[in-house]
Amino acid sequence: MPELLVNQIAAGEVVDRPAAALKELLENSLDAGSRSLSVELVEGGVRRMRVVDDGAGIERDDLPLAVARFATSKITTLDDLERAATLGFRGEALASIGAVARLSIVSRRAETKHAYRIACEAGVVSPVEPAALAAGTTVEVEDLYFNTPARRKFLKSEATEFARCDEAFTRIALSRPGVAFALSHNGRRLAHMPPEGARERAARLVGDDFASSAVEVDSQGARARLAGLAAAPGFTRANRDAQYLFVNGRFVRDKVAAHAIREAYADVLHHDRHPAFVLFLEIDPALVDVNVHPAKSEVRFRDSSAVHQFVFHSLSRALASAKPGTDPGFLSGGTAVPANGKPGSVPGFGQASFAMAQPAAAYAAMFETAVADERRVDAMPQASQSPPLGYALAQLHGVYVLAQNAAGLVIVDMHAAHERIMYEGLKEALDATTLPSQPLLVPIPLTATAEEIEQAAAGRAELETLGFDVAAAGPRELLIRAVPMLMADLDAAGLLRSVLREMREFGATRVLVERRNELLSTMACHAAVRANRALTVPEMNALLRQMEHTEFAGSCNHGRPTWVQFPMADLDRLFMRGR
Ligand SMILES: Nc1ncnc2c1ncn2[C@@H]1O[C@H](COP(=O)(O)OP(=O)(O)O)[C@@H](O)[C@H]1O
Ligand SMILES: [Mg+2]
């Protein structure tokens, strides 16, 4: 097969559309240590795409290698591949692009006097010649697929191809907040980002509301670390658009991690809502294979069950301490406070409370005299010593509890709060024991694949702790002899199938715990105080104290917030009270 044809076929995989070519160019610039990257696109990147970087540059004699297939400066042995820390390593991107477009590279290494240029048009490489460039590398790709009409036909409208390029650009820019990025399309400047922090970069690219309310995740394991931002339960979305997972700096779609993330949110998310997140999983490169697909958008973990558990627990822990911000925008002007406190801590209670201690104490004194005797059951102490959620003042229309804390006014949805408290209590009680099992009078036969039968035998002990008693009853049949007690009414066969599938895919299963939790959640919802029940002040205070000691207390089981803080400053603004 002629080399050009090989490269054209490879191009179909590596650079199947402009966005894929752009991703490869940006990754090359990052691998070269660039601190600043600028992207110019014309007509969705099809007509022209130019990436200008300030990276290390390419040596004159290496330019022909850069456009040669399988020539990479990044790894030399298979061993290196195991530890590849660079984004590229296959050495086929530039060769592929050069086979299906007019490619030109101008590059200059810091120590050399000149820049040099090489061009490659439909696979024909031109000789290296001197050129003008201050530093770094400029790669230009023109008329993508001009010589492969079949591929060109697959291109969508200019707007669509541009949108894909924009998404590729966004992923890369999110992954390196410390690097400056610029983007223009058809001569219009669309983005210009200085080096900044992860939260600022996320605010720019994912949204201010996300960045200001998101929970900070930072969890260090023995050989992995998960860090980044995850949407607070109250700030979820109707679609999956804003979900960014980077494994060792590379954007990937990975079903193990995606599943772990979804499960971590299972307790705080309504079924039709999706979390937004920008998460970075750093993992020992020896434990992950990125060379699964030419575009490297998938990875394979050596121990996917360990990764699943690590991601799940890291994120759950972060979400458990999530607190609703001062959300009511009409009052606070969107000054939602980052929710990164420990369980029971209140946003703005740390630094801000210092400035507020004085006025809050004054208000406390005012209330002391104003409240009825009954309400002094918990004589209101100094604001500085009051618990995070403060003390109850009154009940509003049988629905909300009003309380005063150091920061100002707290409003609690009493049903939602009680529901969460009951639910967490039930879970805790049950987590401590194995799931009780209920033997079936008539065992349920289940047609199974050989794989399922093998899984059931291998995972027998684990299945028993979950309350299942399962035995093989033939080469194609399993017999369910006992089921988890709480779930006796459910579709046992379907449940067992999901359990086996998860045990196989993720090495562990949370299907049962999830189902059990769904049931507990329903129970908690029915058992929780109903609206319109009058609560006494001591009852209300007891509710506040319980909330402070409950995980996930910031939102109810359906992801609605349970309480909201109105800081004094916001109330003052509302009444135009100067300080
Ligand atoms: N922007 C750049 N700055 C410096 N070197 C570059 C740049 N782009 C490409 N190169 C060089 O060209 C080589 C080939 O690039 P590529 O075809 O993308 O393969 P890979 O990235 O897998 O090594 C790289 O190994 C690198 O040495
Ligand atoms: Mg590359």
Two tokens at 21?
A: 């070519």
Is pLDDT of 345 > 50? no
pLDDT digits (tens, 9 = 90+) for 236-263: 787 788 999 999 999 999 989 999 999 8
Is pLDDT of 330 > 70? no
Q: Which ligand is nearest to the CA of 63?
A: 1
CA distance 255 to 359: 51
Is pLDDT of 281 > 50? yes
Q: Which atom of ligand 1 is nearest to the CA of 136?
A: 3
Is pLDDT of 454 > 80? yes
Q: Which atom of ligand 1 is nearest to the CA of 86?
A: 21
pLDDT band at 379 (very low <50, low <70, confident <90, very high): very low
The pLDDT of residue 536? 86
The pLDDT of residue 469? 92
Which of 275-289, 356-370, 378-392 holds the top average pLDDT? Answer: 275-289
Is pLDDT of 82 > 80? no
Kindly report the average pLDDT of the chain as a whole number.
Answer: 81
pLDDT digits (tens, 9 = 90+) for 86-112: 787 778 899 999 999 999 999 999 999
Of residues 338 and 310, the one with the higher pLDDT is: 310
User: How far is CA 430 from each of CA 267, 332, 426, 499, 516, rounded to the nearest angstrom?
Assistant: 16, 40, 6, 19, 9
CA distance 420 to 425: 8
Q: Which ligand is nearest to the CA of 67?
A: 1
Q: What percent of the chain has pLDDT over 90?
A: 41
Which residues share a beta bridge with 90? none
Two tokens at 212?
A: 């200001």
- The counts of H helices and E strands in the chain are 20, 23
pLDDT mean over 436-455 = 87
Pairing of strands 180-185, 36-42: parallel
pLDDT band at 468 (very low <50, low <70, confident <90, very high): confident
Q: How many CB atoms lie within 10 A of CB 88?
A: 20
Listed in sequence order, the residues at least 6 apart from 443 whose beta carbon sits closer than 8 Å to its beta carbon are 479, 480, 481
Q: Which ligand is nearest to the CA of 33?
A: 1
Is pLDDT of 326 > 80? no
Listed in sequence order, the residues at least 6 apart from 561 whose beta carbon sits closer than 8 Å to its beta carbon are 233, 234, 324, 327, 413, 416, 554, 555
Pocket of ligand 1 (CB under 6 A): 24, 28-29, 32, 53, 55-58, 66, 72-74, 88-95, 137
Please state the three-class secondary structure of 49-118 as a single string: EEEEECCCCCCHHHHHHHCCCCCCCCCCCHHHHHCCCCCCCCCCHHHHHHHHCEEEEEEECCCCCCEEEE
pLDDT digits (tens, 9 = 90+) for 485-544: 766 666 788 888 888 887 777 766 677 777 777 777 777 777 777 767 788 888 889 889
Of residues 143 and 295, the one with the higher pLDDT is: 143
The pLDDT of residue 118? 97
Backbone φ/ψ region at 253: left (φ over 0), alpha (ψ -120 to 50), beta: beta
Ligand 2 centroid, distance to 345 Cα (angstroms): 46
pLDDT mean over 299-308 = 89
The pLDDT of residue 426? 77
**Protein residue with least CA distance to atom 26, ligand 1:** 73
Task: Look up the pTM and report it.
Answer: 0.69
pLDDT mean over 179-195 = 96
Q: Which amino acid is at 367?
A: F
The pLDDT of residue 346? 28
**Protein residue with least CA distance to atom 21, ligand 1:** 88
Ligand 1 centroid, distance to 130 Cα (angstroms): 19
The pLDDT of residue 529? 75
Ligand 1 centroid, distance to 281 Cα (angstroms): 25
The pLDDT of residue 480? 93
The pLDDT of residue 488? 65
**Protein residue with least CA distance to atom 11, ligand 1:** 66
Is pLDDT of 264 > 50? yes
Is pLDDT of 337 > 60? no
Query: Helix, strand or coil for residue 529?
Result: coil
Which of 33-37, 319-323, 559-563 holds the top average pLDDT? Answer: 33-37
The pLDDT of residue 364? 33
Q: Which atom of ligand 1 is nearest to the CA of 51?
A: 1
CA distance 249 to 170: 13
CA distance 510 to 513: 5
The pLDDT of residue 374? 33
Q: E strands along 292-366, which residues?
A: 300-301
**Protein residue with least CA distance to atom 7, ligand 1:** 28
CA distance 405 to 466: 43
